[in-house]
Amino acid sequence: MSDFRANQLAFIAAIRSPDQQIPADVAPERMAVYRELFFNNIQNFVNSAFPVLRSILPASLWQQNLRKFFAEATLTSPYFLNIAESYLDWLSNEPQSLPFAVELAHYEWAELYVATLPCPLLEPFDLTGPLQLADCALVLSYQFPVHQISPDYQPIDPTSDGCYLLVYRNIDDQVRFIALNQLTAALLTLLSERPGLDFSELTQQFSELLPQLAGVEWLAQARSLCFDLAQKGVIQPSQIAEK
């Protein structure tokens, strides 16, 4: 390794961790400015990405986590979304004082992810022909009701039935969510995995996976739900025709 590269790495290490020795040719006052400048940039990104989790954790613990993340995480991208994803990955491997912390962080990251996806504005659709789930829509499942968690509501135990959510960007370019039951979440997951099915093919394949669902009542409920989602633009026409 060249001396220049070695000096660069030493300088970066000293910026990220106060425990690292400052390079001999850098004044302590100058290093302090660099440390605070870089840390504050990362802090602002993470604070913006996870506002609910930040509001719940004690301020001292939140700051401690940020300092530890700044010192330990491998950050290879300057983009806001990638920094948030890196923080989520780092948090997932750390012990947590709150049982729902990682799931809540994932839900907040998912909202940010959907908000920043480069996809066209959604338009209402009439549920005819081959279908697909919109690119700016995610079907998510959690143990805790992450969409309800706040400083005033912090569950200790997971829900008995799980928590299923559809997070999407609506026709007004705003991020929204819909609480789903397990069957609805499974149906939309199947559509996301097999784009190009029409509604009849979708429900047929889903019924083959869960034959106990066969019946007119379930089909009517599924059609009503899918039609509503198509009107929201969450289900869109697909150019892929599955054979």
Tell whether 104 is covered by a domain.
no
d(CA 46, CA 55): 13
Tell whether 109 is covered by a domain.
no
**Is residue 234 predicted with pLDDT exceeding 80?**
yes
Same domain, 82 and 183: no
Answer whether 133's CB lies under 8 Å from 188's CB.
Answer: yes
d(CA 98, CA 101): 5
Same domain, 27 and 136: no
d(CA 141, CA 162): 7
d(CA 219, CA 143): 27
Tell whether 113 is covered by a domain.
no
Tell whether 111 is covered by a domain.
no
Distance from chain centroid for Cα 235: 20
Lowest mean pLDDT, pick from 5-9, 98-102, 158-162: 5-9
Q: How many CB atoms lie under 10 A from the CB of residue 236?
A: 22
pLDDT of residue 71: 84
Confidence grade of residue 33 (pLDDT, cut at 50, 70, 90): low
Task: Report DSSP state, residue 131.
Answer: E
**Is residue 210 predicted with pLDDT exceeding 70?**
yes
> Hey, CA dihedral for 134, 140, 145, 147, is it positive or negative?
negative
Same domain, 215 and 146: yes
CA distance readout (Å), 149 to 54, 100, 107:
12, 9, 11
> Average pLDDT of the chain?
85
Same domain, 81 and 132: no
Domain total for the chain? 2
Same domain, 131 and 55: no
Same domain, 212 and 127: yes
Higher-pLDDT residue of 148 and 182 is 148
pLDDT of residue 9: 58
Q: Which domain holds residue 43?
A: 1-97
Both structure tokens of 24: 């001999």
**DSSP for 179-212, written as a single string:** EE-HHHHHHHHHHHHSTT--HHHHHHHHHHH-GG
pLDDT of residue 93: 94
54-109: pLDDT as tens digits: 999 999 999 999 989 988 887 777 677 889 999 999 999 999 999 999 999 999 99
| Global pTM value | 0.85
